[in-house]
Amino acid sequence: MKKLLLPSIVALTLAACGTTEPAPETPAVEDSSRSTTTVPTVTASSRNASNIDPLDRAGNSVYFDYDSYVIRSEARSLIDAHAKRLAHEPGRKVTIQGNADERGSREYNLALGQKRAEAVRRALRLLGARDTQIEAVSLGEEHPACTEASESCYAQNRRGDFVYLGR
């Protein structure tokens, strides 16, 4: 039990071997009395939420397969309808919010959600919507529609949502 000394001590001990008198060491002085440790709290408020056109909130989701960013055939008519609407109303703007399931890294999931949003954005563009009308963003795993750890739940979180801003 006595021989637990680590190399650093041994080194320090050896370094001091030349002196026979214990030389009083000048202690290092630190003044920590002026360091600030108080952190004021800032409150952020959610923006844009009240601007969302309530008529456009429900039923506007496109779902994706696991590890996939290809729009399923059953979603095509929905995307087509949105593209027609946007082409018809040039003043309309839509945000495509991509989402991902919660497994793994948050930042990588954010990128996966973006990949889904981007797939929808490109489809809308091909179908006649203007670039200035669409913003593809990702909420990653931060806004799950379902919070259980099950495949059916994860499937609900792999989606893109259409969110129209009120004019």
Partner 1 sequence: MIKVSRPRLPNAFSGMARLLCLAFLVGAATAVHADIDITVTGSGAKLFPVIIPVFENEGSLPNSISEIVRADLERSGRFSLVDIGPLTLPESKTPDLAAMAARGADAALAASVLPSSGGRFEIRFRLFDTTRKEGNPELGGMLLHMSPAQHRLAAHRIADFIYEKLTGIPGYFATRIAYVVKSGSRYELQIADSDGMNAQTALRSPESIISPAWSPNGEQLAYVSFEARKPIIYIHTLATGQRKILANFKGSNSAPAWAPDGKRLAVVLTKDGLSQIYLINADGSGARRLLTSSGIDTEPAWSPDGNWIYFTSDRSGDPQIYRASSTGGGAERVTFEGAYNVTPRPSPDGTKLAFLTRHEGRFRVAVMDLASRQIMPLTDSARDESPSFAPNSNMILYATDIGGKGMLSATSADGSVRQRLSIQAADVREPAWGPLQQ
Residues of this chain that interact with partner 1 (CB under 8 A) are 1-2, 4-9, 11-13, 16-17, 19-23, 25, 27-33, 35-49, 95, 97, 103-108, 110-112, 114-115, 118, 135-140, 142-143, 149, 163
For partner 1, the closer of residues 28 and 74 by Cβ is 28
For partner 1, the closer of residues 84 and 115 by Cβ is 115
Contacts of 63 (CB under 8 A, 6+ apart): 72, 75, 155, 156, 158, 159
For partner 1, the closer of residues 60 and 114 by Cβ is 114
We find the least distance from the C-beta atom of residue 28 to partner 1, in angstroms, to be: 5
β-strands 94-99, 134-140: how paired? Answer: parallel
Q: Could you write out the DSSP letters of every residue in 119-141?
A: HHHHHHHHTT--GGGEEEEEEET
We find the least distance from the C-beta atom of residue 77 to partner 1, in angstroms, to be: 26
The gap between the terminal CA atoms of the chain, to the nearest Å, is 77
For partner 1, the closer of residues 28 and 55 by Cβ is 28
For partner 1, the closer of residues 42 and 58 by Cβ is 42
We find the least distance from the C-beta atom of residue 162 to partner 1, in angstroms, to be: 13
Q: In what order do the strands lie in the sheet with 94-99?
A: 61-63, 159-164, 94-99, 134-140
We find the least distance from the C-beta atom of residue 111 to partner 1, in angstroms, to be: 4
We find the least distance from the C-beta atom of residue 82 to partner 1, in angstroms, to be: 18
Q: How far is CA 51 from the centre of its chain?
A: 22
Q: How far apart are CA 27 and CA 112, in angstroms?
A: 55
